[in-house]
Amino acid sequence: MAKQLNLFTTGQVIATDLHTEMQRSYLEYAMSVIVGRALPDVRDGLKPVHRRILYAMHELGLTPDKPYRKCARVVGDVLGKYHPHGDQAVYDALVRMVQDFSCRYPLLAGHGNFGSVDNDPPAAMRYTETRLAPIGHEALLSEISSATVDFTENFDNSQAEPVVLPAQLPVLLLNGCSGIAVGMATNVPPHNLGEVVDGLIALIDSPDISDEKLFALISGPDFPTGGQIVGTEGIKSAYTTGRGSILVRGVASNEQIQSGSRGRRRRDCIVVTELPYQVNKAAWIEKIADLVNTGKIEGISNIRDESDRTGMRVVIELKREANPKAILELLYKLTPLQSTFGAIMLALVEGQPRQLTLRQMLQEFLDFRLSTLTRQYSHELQESEKTTALGRRVTGGSPSTRCGARHS
């Protein structure tokens, strides 16, 4: 006890209020999660873990023309060099970049079981294999060097990693992104590549283009699992303010199928071929079965999942007296066949989280692309000038000087 009192009297202990220390520590933790984990950068559209996975695979030479490599090897490199967190967290991020039902344009190509839209888990990383997809290699890594983007030291100062990848396409809009930080969240919907490129070209040609013309080129999100967007108010709100609720419905049609022992009878059925984004098909079918068993939906006699590698097909057989339109409306109302996508266009701009409109996201990417090309061409010009100067020193001066000396 006497030693503790001596520490206070000698000034070796700094008295700090508890609420002040908690406020400072929590703010540091919040900024670490916001900047270092949960939110994407508006320039390349990637979170740090995705950026590190892509760069580690680039360092391993896993280009689209090379053989697949075990995912465990990639995860090990990412953990050891750039991302000192859990291996399962890194593998989960890698798996999502392979899944074509999670990403509109997958940045990685996979070989093996990477899960399904039924929420089946992927195989262990020791079984699956991966390499860069063509769009991930060309659009994000083909121009990477210290001349185009800044590099920083990794966690133990043993390696250098890029602060941002020299993206040639706005990946944030193409694939979208979702993440929950401290006190904020992002949920950017994916878009069609052709529409986004048309919007970028229009913005380059006419920076003052009206929102109506811009929205005519980029008409709305393009989800990888399909679905139909109901109404345009949610899209306009998301594009003009950065927030909006987009109502999405699955694609369903009425068909008649043959039933009975000899197939002589015909029965009405509802066939669903597309589901809203991020809806678990198996859980959705179980939800319908529960509603039928509890009597909340009447008129359904059977449900079959006929999905295969060619596409999704869920057949809902109806009873003879059932009304297909009425049952479809109940499915929209009581099941995720109709769901709301809450768009939050939040991303990091110069290291700070900002809620952006569609125009601002496009402009931020164009500004980044301009700075990247300027750095690249300036570096090439300097290298060319150095080569020219070195050539002159080796040959002993300019051609005109040498000719004049011989003539004299």
Residue range 81-136, pLDDT digits in tens: 999 989 999 999 999 999 999 999 999 999 999 999 998 999 999 999 999 999 99
Q: Within 13 Å of residue 218, how many CA atoms lie on the same side as its CB?
A: 30
Residue tagged active-site, from 82, 127, 239, 332: 127
CA dist 196 to 175, 185, 216, 220, 283, Å?
11, 23, 11, 10, 33
In this predicted structure, what is the pLDDT of residue 27?
A: 84
Q: Phi first, then psi: what are they for 31, rounded to 5°? A: -65, -35
Judged against a pLDDT cut of 90, whether residue 256 lies above it is answered with: no
What superfamily in CATH does domain 46-166 come from? Topoisomerase II, domain 5 (3.90.199.10)
The overall average pLDDT reported for the chain is 91
CA distance 121 to 124: 9
User: Under 8 Å CB-to-CB from 251, ≥6 apart: which residues?
Assistant: 226, 227, 228, 272, 273, 274
Highest mean pLDDT pick, 21-30, 86-95, 255-264: 86-95
Judged against a pLDDT cut of 60, whether residue 231 lies above it is answered with: yes
Judged against a pLDDT cut of 50, whether residue 407 lies above it is answered with: no
In this predicted structure, what is the pLDDT of residue 406?
A: 43
169 is written with which tokens? Answer: 């396409």
User: Confidence band (pLDDT; 50, 70, 90) for 397?
Assistant: low
In this predicted structure, what is the pLDDT of residue 111?
A: 96
Boundaries of CATH 3.90.199.10 in the chain? 46-166
Boundaries of CATH 3.30.1360.40 in the chain? 251-336
Judged against a pLDDT cut of 70, whether residue 349 lies above it is answered with: yes
Q: Is 127 a catalytic residue?
A: yes
Give me the sign of the Cα torsion angle 216, 221, 226, 230.
Answer: negative
Q: Yes or no: is domain 251-336 CATH 3.30.1360.40?
A: yes
User: Confidence band (pLDDT; 50, 70, 90) for 307?
Assistant: very high
pLDDT (tens digit, 9 = 90+) per residue, 184-228?
999 999 999 999 999 999 999 999 999 999 999 999 999 999 999
Judged against a pLDDT cut of 70, whether residue 402 lies above it is answered with: no
- Rounded to two decimals, what is the model's pTM? 0.88
